[in-house]
A = this chain, B = another copy of it.
Amino acid sequence: MAKASDQRVGIADVAREAGVSKSAVSFAFNSPDRLSAETASRIRDVAERMGYRPHPVARMLSSGQTTTIGILSPQALGQVFANPFFALFAEGVASVTEEHGFGLLFISPLHGSLAGALDRATVDGVVALGLDERHPEMGSIRLAGLPAVLVDSPAWSGHRAVLVDDEGGARLAAEHLLGLGHRDVLVMGIEAAVGDTDDEGVAGRRLTGYRSSFATAGLELSPDRIVRPPATIEGGEAAFLRVWSRGDRPTAVLCMSDATATGVLAAARRLSIRVPEELSIVGFDDLPLTRFTDPPLTTVHQPVRRKGEVA
């Protein structure tokens, strides 16, 4: 422990200087009505003159509140911020936490363990992004008993959840392409969170939607027409280049994320493929970003605001 006893002015210092008790100082700030107006303001004067600032951690400990909520993500933050979808989501969460005077802490797997990171987090509540009920870390820690909101995951044991109609949106997107006459379609999924079970969660639901539309049209989605790059622009670009270089020539791409869709678009440009004449691209999420490329089809994304109900 550092010998930081010097320098920092504690509540005790202020109390001594003002000739009152620690309690009085505390009251002066938190419940001024319990002190005479005169005393309260005098204490505050002394405190300010001494440059007193309450230690946030100590306040947390005794009051039991952190006035901070966390955003829980199963992916590394580096990846997370690279995904434009996330920025939009964070924007939504941030605007409401900010309004309520809460801080925003990002929680991601620290040394490979999400649970460990969660334990270290000083948070009153959590917004979990794309976490499966059966996620190994998740179940074991039971969210540490914290109030939580699950996003893009099925509701679960008392926790609120918010999710979009992934399946329906996906069906719409697929029907759109099929309606244009496309038959050779590449499906670009998104990488599974931690290498656990695929075909569950967001990606699974959207895939189900795609399959459903194809089935209706009497078609089938062959496994080698499905790739799962990371949900970033770079990921989408690389994946499409890979597919193209192995000789596949789909006439359309069905992306589960606008980020990968943008990547495909970039790849197409590099390959001198004209969009949409030679290749149709459909995205997902309706990020503002997509308005500035070549308008892909989209489903709206309302959870960004919706989750505000937790606060």
Contacts and interface: CB of A to CB of B under 8 A. Distances in A.
A256 to B, nearest CB: 18
State the copy count for this chain.
2
Interface string A48-83: 000001101110111110111000000011101110
Contact of A292 (B122, B141, B233): B233
B105 A104 contact: yes
Contacts of A269: 292
A65 to B, nearest CB: 9
Contacts of A120: 56, 67, 103
Contact of A78 (B1, B58, B91, B292): B91
Given A98-B110, A288-B234, A81 B77 contact: no
Contacts of A117: 103
Contacts of A111: 101
A21 to B, nearest CB: 20
Given A121-B103, A288-B233, A63 B1 contact: yes
A76 B95 contact: yes
